């Protein structure tokens, strides 16, 4: 797209890696509006009303609901052509509402996949090797023996991955390096493709029954909310370990606490929570066999830079009429191109490169 007219991109003043702004600044036909995240700011409403593209924070607890992409915001933003969620998740975007309005939505799947997969094993090893327990005892207690902190090894064990997308695939590759057998359950991926990604396809029941370690790598949606509850924890092997770097709400925290406190499960590594951060009095935080982090699996320097760059690049692609790689609602694309022509006054949609 060339000419004097500038496509307007809006993001809020929440922290983002500088590569986002730098990438957009290299296109002279794009104007970036950085608006206040204050939910009562009228200027932000005006900025979104004029915006053609909206980069929206994907962290539901960081973004005021006033600025989530839902029907009300869409109705207030008549020029809005496309939305980019700033992460692999898109909890702050109503994709169905966007589809009805002809607005394509992209996420940044895979941009922080290495970071999240690495964090999965940081949690798993911390639980199995009892790293956090040992650290705490060394700082606060005396008179205990090394045998009081005996851990285990993971070589030769089986890990079950619930979801084998970008992150799950990288997790499978790391698992192979540790000498683990890898099982995977993913109803959206064919058995042949699951094998190509480094895992043996199984049902969810078989995965729970056979895995020494169960790790979640699926999105949170209507199908996955609370899919791992009391029944599923009961189906897991006695003494197994539960790991989640996916989303809070996929597993039942009350049921997990019961499975851990009863000794049914050996331990858990949790990066995600129903409420983030969880309150200090959260029952799971009282257990010594739980290793907890604050949804930081993908919040590495490299991960955040990759996500910011990916978001900016996909916004520029859509503004130029090029179909982006991580389109969540592909059925809207042809309608988007027609809206783009009307709103931006351009007629040519570039072919994908």
Residues annotated catalytic, as ranges: 247, 276, 295
Q: What are phi and psi of 105, to 5 degrees?
A: -120, 135
> Residue 139 and residue 183: Cα distance in Å, rounded?
38
| Span between the terminal Cα atoms of the chain, in Å | 15
Q: Is 3 left (phi over 0), alpha (psi -120 to 50) or beta?
A: left
- Which residues contact residue 211 at a Cβ distance below 8 angstroms, ignoring those fewer than 6 apart? 158, 159, 160, 183, 236, 237, 240
DSSP state of 104: -
Q: Are 199 and 189 in contact (CB under 8 A)?
A: no
In the structure encoding, which two tokens stand for residue 4, read together?
A: 């004097």
Whole-angstrom distance, CA of residue 237 vs CA of residue 251: 17
| DSSP state letters, 291-317 | EE--S-TT-SHHHHHHHHHHHHHHHHH
Rounded to whole angstroms, the Cα distance separating 143 from 268 reads 27
Q: Give the contacts of 4 (CB within 8 A, at least 6 positions apart).
A: none
């Amino acid at each position: 797209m060339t000419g004097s007219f500038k496509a307007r991109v809006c993001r809020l003043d929440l922290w983002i890696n500088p590569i986002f702004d730098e990438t957009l600044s290299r296109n002279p036909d794009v104007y970036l509006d950085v608006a206040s995240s204050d939910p009562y700011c009228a200027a932000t409403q005006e900025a979104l009303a004029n915006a053609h593209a909206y980069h929206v924070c994907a962290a539901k607890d960081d973004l005021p609901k006033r600025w989530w992409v839902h029907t009300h915001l869409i109705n207030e933003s008549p020029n809005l052509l496309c939305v980019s969620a700033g992460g692999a998740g898109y909890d702050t975007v109503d994709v169905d509402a966007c589809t009805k309005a002809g607005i394509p939505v992209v996420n940044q799947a895979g941009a922080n996949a290495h970071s999240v997969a690495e964090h999965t094993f940081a949690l798993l090893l911390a639980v199995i090797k009892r790293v956090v327990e040992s650290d705490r005892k060394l700082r606060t207690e005396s008179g205990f023996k090394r045998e009081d902190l005996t851990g285990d090894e993971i070589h030769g064990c089986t890990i079950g991955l619930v979801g084998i997308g970008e992150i799950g695939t990288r997790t499978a590759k790391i698992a192979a390096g540790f000498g683990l057998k890898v099982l995977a359950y993913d109803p959206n991926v064919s058995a042949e493709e699951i094998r190509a990604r480094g895992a043996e396809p199984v049902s969810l029941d078989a995965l729970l029954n056979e895995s020494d370690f169960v790790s979640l790598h699926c999105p949170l949606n209507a199908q996955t909310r609370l899919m791992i509850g009391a029944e599923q924890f009961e189906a897991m092997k006695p003494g197994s370990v539960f790991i989640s770097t996916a989303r809070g709400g996929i597993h039942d925290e009350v049921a997990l606490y019961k499975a851990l406190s009863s000794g049914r499960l050996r331990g858990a590594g949790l990066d995600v929570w129903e409420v983030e951060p969880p309150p200090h009095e959260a029952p799971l935080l009282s257990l010594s066999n739980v290793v907890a982090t604050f949804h930081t699996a993908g919040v590495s320097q490299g991960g955040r830079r990759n996500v910011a760059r990916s978001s900016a690049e996909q916004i520029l692609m859509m503004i130029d009429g090029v179909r982006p790689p991580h389109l969540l609602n592909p059925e809207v694309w042809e309608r988007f191109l027609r809206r783009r022509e009307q709103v931006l006054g351009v007629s040519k949609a570039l072919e994908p490169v």
